[in-house]
Amino acid sequence: EAGVAQSPRYKIIEKRQSVAFWCNPISGHATLYWYQQILGQGPKLLIQFQNNGVVDDSQLPKDRFSAERLKGVDSTLKIQPAKLEDSAVYLCASSLRYVRVSPLHFGNGTRLTVT
Amino acid sequence: AQSVTQLDSHVSVSEGTPVLLRCNYSSSYSPSLFWYVQHPNKGLQLLLKYTSAATLVKGINGFEAEFKKSETSFHLTKPSAHMSDAAEYFCVVSEAGGSEKLVFGKGTKLTVNP
């Protein structure tokens, strides 16, 4: 089966600019996650979708970050305006069912550098 | 709230020797515990998971982990390291109910020397 697809692979922007990341999960996976992984740290959950509804966005900085999952399939994560501390790898993951039952499948991530 | 502490940020072993990566967890309810591996420029991959069944869990590539509730630990082991095991390893906890979100540790970088 095809894995989780993310694009772009790398992105360099200046602070205060906007950026968007795209994720296409594994076909049939109802749950989609966006994680932020800062260098030297473990991934931190930003937002979790179940189909096209938000399950958890408690750690999403809503003043600058937004995410949507149209029709319960693809998802985009946007940052506007970007700050230096947003430099990180943004990981998308999907799972068929709950994590106790189904493993998360991760994409290769988008590495964002904010200068 | 749940959390995990990976006790070593770096572990270095020689090829053919045992691997031990330590993880302690904190959870209010019955946790699920996982180990994920991240090779350079690759996506995170599930190694193994514990979800309240057998306390000794076997995973891929010869890795295993033992859930010890009394010690709140979930250490990852492998009897004999291979060069291809060099990677970053993450201990992860999830609580039952709610969103079941995964909370990652900070990671342990494993170096395998020839």
What CATH number should be reported for the domain holding residue A32? 2.60.40.10
The predicted pLDDT at position A89 comes to: 96
Per-residue pLDDT, B86: 96
Give the count of Cβ contacts less than 8 A between chain A and B. 54
Amino acid at A28: G
* CATH code for position B97: 2.60.40.10
Question: Which range of residues forms the domain containing residue A20?
Answer: 5-114
Q: CB-CB: which of A4, A42, A103 is closest to B105? A: A42
Contact call for residues B63 and B57 (beta carbons, < 8 A): no
Residue ranges making up the domain that contains B24: 3-113
| Residuewise pLDDT in 10s, chain A (115 residues) | 679 999 999 999 999 999 999 999 999 999 999 999 999 899 999 999 988 899 889 999 999 999 999 888 999 999 999 999 999 999 999 998 776 677 889 999 999 999 9
Mutate to test the interface with B, among A56, A100, A111 (most CBs of B within 10 A): A100
d(CA A104, nearest CA chain B) in Å: 7
Is A34 in a helix, a strand, or coil?
strand
Give residue B97's pLDDT. 62
Provide the number of structural domains found in chain A: 1
Average pLDDT, chain B: 91
Instruction: Please list the helix, strand and coil fractions of chain B in percent, rounded to the nearest 5, in that order.
Output: 5, 55, 40
Within 8 A by CB and 6+ apart from A69, the residues are: A32, A49, A51, A52, A75
Total domains, chain B? 1
Polymer length of chain B: 114
Whether the per-residue pLDDT at B41 is higher than 90: the answer is no
Q: Are residues B44 and A106, on separate chains, in Cβ contact within 8 Å?
A: yes
The pLDDT value recorded for residue B99 is 61
CB contact under 8 A, A45 and B43: no
Please tell me the distance in Å from A46's CA to the nearest CA on chain B: 10
- Contact between A92 and A108 under an 8 Å Cβ cutoff? The reply is no
pLDDT for B80 = 97
Percent of chain B predicted with pLDDT > 70 = 96
* Residues B24-35 pLDDT 10s: 999 877 788 999
| Closest to B56 measured CA to CA, from B75, B81, B29 | B75
The closest of A108, A110, A111 to A3, measured between CA atoms, is A108
Q: What are phi and psi of B83, to 5 degrees?
A: -55, -35
Are residues B94 and A100, on separate chains, in Cβ contact within 8 Å?
yes
The per-residue pLDDT for range B45-100, each reduced to its tens digit, is 999 999 877 889 999 999 999 999 999 999 999 999 999 999 999 999 987 665 67
DSSP symbol at B55: S
Instruction: Please list every residue in chain A whose beta carbon sits closer than 8 Å to the beta carbon of residue B107.
Output: 40-42
Tokens of B98: 């709610």
DSSP state of B87: E
